[in-house]
Amino acid sequence: DTGVSQNPRHKITKRGQNVTFRCDPISEHNRLYWYRQTLGQGPEFLTYFQNEAQLEKSRLLSDRFSAERPKGSFSTLEIQRTEQGDSAMYLCASSLGQTELYEQYFGPGTRLTVT
Amino acid sequence: DAKTTQPPSMDCAEGRAANLPCNHSTISGNEYVYWYRQIHSQGPQYIIHGLKNNETNEMASLIITEDRKSSTLILPHATLRDTAVYYCIVRVVDDYKLSFGAGTTVTVRA
């Protein structure tokens, strides 16, 4: 257990429905990241927050995706009008940005299946 | 575009050292080599990182060649719990995102 929690762990939804995932980072970490991982591939960067500010979004993050981090604490990732191609593991990570190490601590992920 | 090249898979005997190679021939002077691993159904886990000197911690050793074009992660006494996908990543230390490749699937056999 890294201290980063994600909920739910699994989500099955029908195509066209909206889904929301939550990530609770390690409490003192000011940086929070979202990644997506499809079967057999390494994780791909989606977006990044420093405190409450969303500083970058990957081109993988289409208009159907939105992420928030109110008050610089937990974060949510919402996918609107889900498509079968959205099926993947969604990983959240956090880090303490002031250290040289910049080690990222990952949560266990939320596995999304779109039917 | 991939900055690292790793073999897709390798086997290792339990109790023996596992040596995982990584090529990063285009690495820049300000880029570090990081290793993460991902055990099945878990998120990636940091292992070790280095710039040009060899590094060792409680999990592994990292050997970086003098020209920094390649490196080797060494798990000194592999156990069954070390079975995982191992990712070699090069990044500038204050680059916020990690760029994962496909990694090396390491299977430790009893």
Subunit contact B96:A41, Cβ cutoff 8 A? no
Antiparallel, parallel or unpaired: β A88-95 and A105-106: antiparallel
Subunit contact A43:B101, Cβ cutoff 8 A? no
Q: How far does A93 lie from chain B, in Å, by closest CA? A: 9
Task: For residue A12, list its beta bridge partners.
Answer: A113
> Residues of A numbered 38-67 whose beta carbons fall under 8 angstroms of chain B's beta carbons: which are they?
40-45, 48, 50, 55-56
Compute the distance between CA of residue A35 and CA of residue A110 in angstroms, rounded to an integer. 11
Subunit contact B43:A106, Cβ cutoff 8 A? yes
Tell me, letter by letter, the H, E, C secondary structure of chain A. Answer: CCCCEEECCEEEECCCCCEEEEEECCCCCCEEEEEEECCCCCCEEEEEEECCEEEEECCCCCCCEEEECHHHCCEEEEECCCCHHHCEEEEEEEECCCCCCCCCEECCCEEEEEC
Comparing A101 with A74, which gets the higher pLDDT?
A74
Subunit contact B46:A105, Cβ cutoff 8 A? yes
Buried b / exposed e over B55-73, threshold 16 CB at 10 Å, is beeeebbbbbeeebebbbb
Query: What is the pLDDT of chain B when averaged over all its residues?
Result: 93
Chain B residue with minimal CA distance to A49? B96
Q: At residue A99, does pLDDT exceed 70?
A: no
A9: its two tokens: 């762990």
Compute the distance between CA of residue A28 and CA of residue B39 in angstroms, rounded to an integer. 26
Q: At residue A31, does pLDDT exceed 70?
A: yes
Subunit contact B43:A56, Cβ cutoff 8 A? no
**Residue A90: pLDDT band with limits 50, 70, 90:** very high
Chain B residue with minimal CA distance to A57? B97
Q: Is B94 on the interface with A (CB under 8 A)?
A: yes
Subunit contact B97:A48, Cβ cutoff 8 A? yes
Coil, helix or strand at residue B18: strand
Question: What is the tens place of the pLDDT at every residue in B57-91?
Answer: 999 999 999 999 999 999 999 999 999 999 999 98
Q: At residue B54, does pLDDT exceed 60?
A: yes
Residues 6+ away with beta carbon under 8 Å from B2:
B101
Percent of residues in chain B assigned helix, strand, coil, to nearest 5: 5, 50, 50
Mean pLDDT value across residues A25-45: 94
Provide the pLDDT for residue A101: 64
Question: What is the tens place of the pLDDT at every residue in B93-103?
Answer: 667 889 999 99
